[in-house]
Structure 1
Amino acid sequence: MKAIRGAFLDFLHDPFYRDEQEAIRYLPDGLLVMDGEKIADFGRFDELAEKYADVSTHHYANRLIMPGFVDTHVHYPQTEMIAAYGEQLLEWLEKYTFPTELKFQDKTYARSVADRFLNMLLMNGTTTAQVFTTTFPQSVDAFFEACSERNICMIAGLTGIDREGLAPAEYRDTADSFYANSKDLIERWHMKGRNKYAITPRFALGSTREQLDRCGQLKGEYPTAWVNTHMSENHKEIAQVAEAFPEASDYLNVYERAGIVGPKFTAGHAIHLSDDAFQRMSASKCSISFCPSSNLYLGSGLFMIHKAKSLETPVLVGLGTDMGAGDCFSILRVLNDAYKVAALQSQKLSVFKGLYLATLGGAKSLMLEDEIGSLDPGKYADLVVLDLSPTPALAFRAQNNPFGKDQTSEEHQCARMEHDAFGTMMLGDERSVEATYVSGQLLYRKTGTPVH
């Protein structure tokens, strides 16, 4: 048993629908006790200190401790091609993505990238992610092997694409090989340790009807598996999906007809949706991964966060870096772009709404809120320790916080934290991450190298 002391922030409710002060739980001086990989106790330091006086405690002074960040959409094989120049989605896939992902036929290479990728996530405070792999089963094995060594919660699966003309022949699979390989991988990895499997058609345009039907078959056989894909990202892509699936009423209906839309289904992007599509997604209790950095980088469009989080069509939403179309591994940088995407649509994304999406909101979107996303006892001890003034700009901004340190009431302490946390949301990156804990173990500290 061990403990950490400091200022803690997590969420009890969704601040998009509740008063923000009611939605947050902020303890200016708290104690979190870990027993093995789980949180054993959590509360105010002065209320718990005597009970745990003999427990080894690390004090993170002048830091903010939160549940680890959740990245609901990211591509580990694209780690080396981050920030590729000058193309939109379909051209970008052809020019950069498929040539890079072909390297993952080599399991040794795949494992080397998986290790690097996971270390980069930890450096950025991300402790859970939903991850795309490639069409090669060995790339999935390599990834889950690396995850198992870290006891980290990751969702991933074989990424299917079998339509001629959408990828090189040597990259494509078939409906039958996708089904057989996915079934084998599910049996080997799903719910083994903290590994979780996602049935993963890359995107509707990349799959034949036969492959999508096989996805539905797999979901029927393994109902606890996740489903992860892309949807309605780019106007050219959407038009080609309509041509490829004339029987479908829209992009979402392609997946509905395959029988894979429902809880644990995540649509990456979902930028260009009709009111009817939002309504159907809300009714089906599926989720959207909001990937603003990628959407801006590829010029895909602006996600309607206000529509997805409306009272009329509430949809579960998490944040995705979508690295490598996204140009970062940092959920903090994604929040910077999310704020701007909202502002371009005359909306405001507060720091509490943003950090909710990064933690409990992301967990709920993946149906993982019973395991991660907040600091409740019984959940996994996946934590990020944030330095709110790691750069000269943030330090100077914090120094001039309008809520001075001499104001010591909890109300003023919370207002001061809100001011500094918003600065971190807009100006933060991996330099803001002091430490990252996974399953109760310190796997990263700000020394430039992972602890693992």
Structure 2
Amino acid sequence: MAQDTLLKGRVLSFTGSPFEAEPEDAVQVNEAVVLSGGRIAAVGGAQDLARAHPGAEVTDHGEKLILAGFVDAHVHYPQTAMIASWGKRLIDWLNSYTFPEEMKFAAPDYAAGIAARYLDLTAAHGTTTMCSFCTIHPESVDAFFAEAQSRGQRVVAGKTCMDRNAPEGLRDTVRTAYDQSKALLQKWHGVDRLSYAITPRFSPTSTPEQLEAMGALWAEHPDCLMQTHLSEQTDEIEWVRSLFPSARDYLDTYESFGLLGGRGLYGHAIHLEPRERDRLREVDAALIHCPTSNTFIGSGLFDMAGLMSRGHRIGLATDTGGGSSFSMLRTMAAAYEIGQLRGVPLHSAQLLWLATVGSARALRMDDAIGNVAAGMEADLVVLDLASTPAIAQRSERAQDLWEAVFPTIMMGDDRAVAEVWIGGRRVTG
């Protein structure tokens, strides 16, 4: 039987949403956490837990912050190698950089290499779960799931479906999209810590017939997530209008084909019409905020405060590689900056919640990941709040935890990640 592990430090748990009360009131800080059998066994005082678990291996992290591993709710792992590609709007950027790179994923060895690289990079930044688009190639899905499975990692992914407005070699058909997605779903969904997401890329790259087929597949497997893109850029919205002239709005191009639901993940969702907001809230769908991508590609400013005030389910994401960083710390910093531009700066507790509980809620996995509480899966990140001289000289003046955390959110990178645990196993540090 594996030995229990006791980690000492400042253990941060959320007891509620910091968007629904005073942010500080939604947080509890304890002295230690015990890991046992891949799960969190207990959280509490260090002496009490040491007495209750006398055989546990103890690591004392001092003033470091221990919290749930980061959950990245919208990524494209196949875009790892072309992250931070210069200077294009969305549609030109796809044609210039993304589609040529995604063509390579028909080769299983190439897909496997990028999957391993991506999971190494994200683990180094403290991300323990992500929801990824793959490519149209089943090989890309197999590679990602196989690599995650070998690491005991909880991930979500799906075959991207496109049957128009993409280069030859990156288009499937209505039939192959349905058949291959279903076969992959049956192969991987619910195996170990793996979950399948039905994945039409976005309305412009799917015919109405393909969207209808994806809606039918989702109706057959309603326990699956469905991920896509929505209202990222204004010129994209105009393109959708031209392709679907009878649709009421962008969301209607999904809704009319059975692709609107509570287990739907809608990336970006920046330029929403009032009807779209109302319908997304009615079905309790998840909106995924991708702040570094939104600024990097010039998409716009997500309305965090307005959507949260209406009770929307919101997650946070890097959107690799439209997003310009693998780091959820950098993503939180960008979310703060966009909040400032919107006139509503986010509190440190709100930013950390979005990157953990919020994204886990978006993925409908907050009963398993995203928080430090007894019974949860043991995915953790340990943050050094003095990881660089610049951060250290600021945090040492802090009057409370939040003032100490904020410089790491704004200036931190992988150097701030002291340890990462996935499924109760230390993978970095």
Asked if Structure 1 and Structure 2 have the same fold, meaning a TM-score greater than 0.5 normalized by the shorter chain, the answer is yes
54-63 or 294-303, which deviates more = 54-63
Q: How far apart are the structure 1 equivalents of 2:251 and 2:202? A: 11
Q: How far apart are the structure 1 equivalents of 2:115 and 2:340? A: 35
AA aligned to 1:422 is F
Match in the other structure for 1:177: 176
Match in the other structure for 1:251: 250
Determine helix, strand or coil for the equivalent of 1:309. Answer: helix
Match in the other structure for 2:421: 437
Q: How far apart are the structure 2 equivalents of 1:420 and 1:258? A: 48
Give 1:156 shift: 0.2
Give 1:258 shift: 1.4
Q: How far apart are the structure 1 equivalents of 2:15 and 2:175? A: 44
Q: How far apart are the structure 1 equivalents of 2:15 and 2:246? A: 43
Match in the other structure for 1:328: 325
* 1:69 partnered with 2:66: no
Counterparts of 1:384-395 in structure 2, within 5 Å, are 384-395=381-392
Q: What are the Cα deviations for residues 245-300 of structure 1, in whole angstroms up to 9, with x where unaligned?
A: 12211111111111121222110000101222112111111001100100000011
| Alignment check: 8 A CA contact 1:199 1:219 kept | yes
Counterparts of 1:405-420 in structure 2, within 5 Å, are 415=400, 417-420=401-404
AA aligned to 2:188 is W
Determine helix, strand or coil for the equivalent of 1:49. Answer: helix
Give 1:21 shift: 2.4
* 1:20 partnered with 2:10: no
Q: How far apart are the structure 1 equivalents of 2:178 and 2:23? A: 45
Q: What are the Cα deviations for residues 322-381 of structure 1, in whole angstroms up to 9, with x where unaligned?
A: 111111000100111111111111111110111110111111111101111111111100
| Alignment check: 8 A CA contact 1:134 1:140 kept | yes
Match in the other structure for 1:53: 54
AA aligned to 1:198 is A
Determine helix, strand or coil for the equivalent of 1:258. Answer: coil
* 1:10 partnered with 2:13: yes
| Alignment check: 8 A CA contact 1:263 1:367 kept | no
Q: What are the Cα deviations for residues 73-121 of structure 1, in whole angstroms up to 9, with x where unaligned?
A: 1110100001101101000000110000100010011000000000111
Q: How far apart are the structure 1 equivalents of 2:130 and 2:50? A: 34
Match in the other structure for 1:408: none
Which residues of structure 2 form unaligned runs of 5+? none
Q: How far apart are the structure 2 equivalents of 1:55 and 1:70? A: 27
Instruction: Report % sequence identity.
Output: 40
Match in the other structure for 1:353: 350
| Alignment check: 8 A CA contact 2:198 2:218 kept | yes
Determine helix, strand or coil for the equivalent of 2:387. Answer: coil
Number of residue pairs the alignment of both structures matches: 426
| Alignment check: 8 A CA contact 2:24 2:349 kept | no
Give 1:39 shift: 1.0
Q: How far apart are the structure 1 equivalents of 2:36 and 2:54? A: 15
AA aligned to 2:377 is Y
| Alignment check: 8 A CA contact 1:152 1:438 kept | yes
Q: How far apart are the structure 2 equivalents of 1:24 and 1:248? A: 44
AA aligned to 2:147 is A
Q: How far apart are the structure 1 equivalents of 2:276 and 2:17? A: 23
AA aligned to 1:328 is S
Q: How far apart are the structure 1 equivalents of 2:373 and 2:347? A: 24
* 1:339 partnered with 2:336: yes
Task: Tell me which stretches of 4 or more aligned residues in structure 1 moved more than 4 Å.
Answer: none
Determine helix, strand or coil for the equivalent of 2:247. Answer: coil
Match in the other structure for 1:297: 296
**In the alignment, which of 381, 395, 407 is matched to residue 423 of structure 1?**
407
Q: How far apart are the structure 1 equivalents of 2:47 and 2:377? A: 24
